[in-house]
């Protein structure tokens, strides 16, 4: 969440920065937050004044008792009780206003970085790298949708996946399943030089999803088990962020780097009819995530490192790709600055997002209470968090099916994946 002290001290600047997201309703939320914050400070001042009065009355009662004036003492005690009741009433209002302020702050998105391009939607996301590996033309045999190619090869069986689990579930078979696993191991190996591998839980608490910004805004997109207060993770970012929730980290230990391969679960509410064929959009998929906790001044360099790592993973697969920066109107709830890596799928004739690389500033750390202590300094401050999809299986898998399809209908496996494919270098029709 954003820093209420920043909003309180410089509301106009915060309004100006938030207005760059091109969502007018956010200014109203900022004003609500300021209103609740102002009321909180009024209540605090009133309670402090009452407590001072009660303390003074207590001293006077003691003096009157010692002097034998019990009647006057009882009168002051009655006044003290009345003030105590008022203090209790203010305490109840404090709880109510605190909850209202927290609710507004949880619904407010992060403030965009000053360098983020101002735009209204994804059509205004600028290309900053590429296109790379993009041929001038594609032959007809590569203009075949991956779902047709993979079904003909017997490596994608979505019909039975739907029978097992319902719409928007997928199932890879044989070499297709091996390819999905190979992609994950490849992405892990590409980052093992600097990132500690974690296998986090796939079910997390409400507090964990709230820390990363998925809740409360994206509750409809998440799978929940209300009986146990657990949610299926939409990405490994959620548990990785909360590993250090409520902790104070030493500056010398930063940056922290984690990576994780996990299954991810998303309802994809409202996506019916949108890119739902084949592997493009599903309720469950595998992904490798890379994540970092950094100092505020170290975060920009880490953002560059994460972007470079993701680009290398995709480039070495030989896929046509480009990198775009996400404009203010298309940024996610928690994002301070973001880049997407997209690959071109000739069969779908579309650029597919395969990775999002994001810097969250202290937005998530503030929600999860992840602090850092400067060497030789008193006090603590919030750290910064960043993450990237090192490789999301479905769309990369789909792009391989289309970009490496051969004239006979077979699909060549990118050479960097050969060590993980149990000797298979080409998937042939059965």
- The string of pLDDT tens digits covering residues 105-141 is 999 999 999 999 999 999 999 999 999 999 999 999 9
pLDDT tens per residue, range 380-426: 999 999 999 999 999 999 999 999 999 999 999 999 999 999 999 99
Strands 337-345 and 350-359: antiparallel
Q: What share of the chain is helix, strand, coil (3-state, %, to 5)?
A: 45, 20, 35
Q: Please, where are the H alpha helices in 199-352?
A: 206-212, 237-242, 299-316
The pLDDT score that the predictor gives to residue 271 is 54
What is the distance between the terminal CA atoms of the chain, rounded to a whole angstrom? 53
Angle between helices 393-403 and 146-153 (to 10 degrees): 80
pLDDT tens per residue, range 274-329: 567 889 989 999 999 999 999 999 999 999 999 999 999 999 999 999 999 999 99
Residues pairing with 412 in the sheet:
426
What number is the average pLDDT over the span 245-253? 97
Q: Please, where are the H alpha helices in 68-174?
A: 70-107, 146-153, 158-165
Above 90 in pLDDT, residue 61?
no
Residues 6+ apart with CB under 8 A from 95: none
pLDDT tens per residue, range 167-220: 999 999 999 999 999 999 999 999 999 999 999 999 999 999 999 988 888 888
CB-CB neighbours of 276 under 10 Å? 13
pLDDT tens per residue, range 359-390: 999 999 999 999 999 999 999 999 999 999 99
Q: In a 3-state reduction of DSSP, which class is residue 110?
A: coil
The pLDDT score that the predictor gives to residue 270 is 56
The pLDDT score that the predictor gives to residue 107 is 93
The pLDDT score that the predictor gives to residue 331 is 95
Contact between residue 235 and residue 286 where contact means Cβ atoms under 8 Å apart: no
Question: What domains does the chain contain, in order, with CATH numbers?
Answer: 4-107 (1.10.287.40), 122-427 (3.30.930.10)
The pLDDT score that the predictor gives to residue 51 is 86
Above 90 in pLDDT, residue 63?
no
Mean pLDDT computed over every residue of the chain: 94
Which among 354, 407, 411 has a CA at the least distance from the CA of 179? Answer: 411
Quick one: CA dihedral 341, 346, 347, 348, positive or negative? positive
Helices and strands counted in the chain (H then E): 12, 16
pTM over 0.75: yes
Strands 248-250 and 371-373: parallel
Number of residues assigned to the chain: 430
């Amino acid at each position: 969440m954003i820093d209420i002290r920043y909003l309180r001290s410089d509301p106009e600047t915060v309004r100006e920065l938030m207005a760059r997201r091109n969502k007018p309703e956010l200014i109203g939320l900022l004003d609500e937050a300021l209103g609740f914050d102002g009321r909180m400070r009024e209540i605090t001042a009133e309670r402090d004044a009452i407590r001072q009065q009660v303390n003074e009355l207590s001293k006077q009662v003691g003096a009157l008792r010692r002097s034998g004036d019990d009647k006057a003492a009882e009168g002051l005690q009655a006044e003290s009780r009345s003030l105590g009741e008022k203090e209790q009433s203010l305490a109840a209002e404090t709880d109510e206003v605190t909850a209202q302020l927290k609710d507004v702050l949880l619904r407010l998105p992060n403030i965009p970085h000053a360098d983020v391009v101002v735009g209204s939607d994804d059509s205004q996301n600028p290309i900053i790298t590429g296109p790379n590996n993009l041929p001038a033309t594609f032959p007809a045999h590569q203009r075949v949708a991956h779902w047709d190619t993979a079904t003909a090869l017997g490596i994608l069986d979505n019909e039975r996946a739907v029978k097992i689990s319902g719409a928007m579930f997928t199932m890879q078979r044989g070499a297709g399943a091996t390819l999905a696993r190979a992609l994950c191991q490849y992405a892990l190996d590409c980052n093992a030089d600097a990132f500690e591998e974690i296998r986090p839980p796939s079910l997390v608490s409400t507090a964990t999803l709230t820390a990363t910004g998925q809740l409360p805004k994206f509750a409809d997109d998440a799978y929940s088990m209300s009986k146990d207060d657990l949610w299926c993770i939409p990405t490994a970012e959620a548990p990785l962020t909360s590993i250090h929730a409520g902790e104070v980290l030493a500056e010398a230990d930063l940056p922290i780097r984690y990576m994780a391969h996990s299954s991810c679960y998303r309802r994809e509410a409202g996506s019916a009819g949108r890119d739902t064929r084949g592997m493009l959009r599903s309720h469950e998929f595998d992904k490798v995530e890379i994540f970092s906790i950094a100092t505020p001044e170290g975060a920009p360099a880490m953002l560059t490192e994460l972007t470079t790592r993701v680009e290398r993973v995709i480039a070495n697969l030989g896929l046509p790709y480009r990198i775009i920066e996400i404009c203010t109107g298309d940024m996610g709830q928690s994002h301070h600055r973001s880049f997407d890596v997209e690959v071109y799928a000739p069969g779908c004739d579309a650029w597919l997002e395969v990775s999002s690389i994001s810097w969250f500033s202290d937005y998530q750390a503030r929600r999860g209470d992840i602090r850092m202590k400067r060497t030789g300094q008193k006090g603590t401050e919030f750290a910064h968090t960043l993450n990237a999809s090192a490789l999301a299986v479905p769309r990369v898998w789909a792009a391989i099916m289309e970009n490496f399809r051969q004239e006979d209908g077979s699909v060549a496996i990118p050479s960097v994946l050969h060590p993980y494919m149990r000797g298979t270098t080409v998937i042939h029709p059965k």
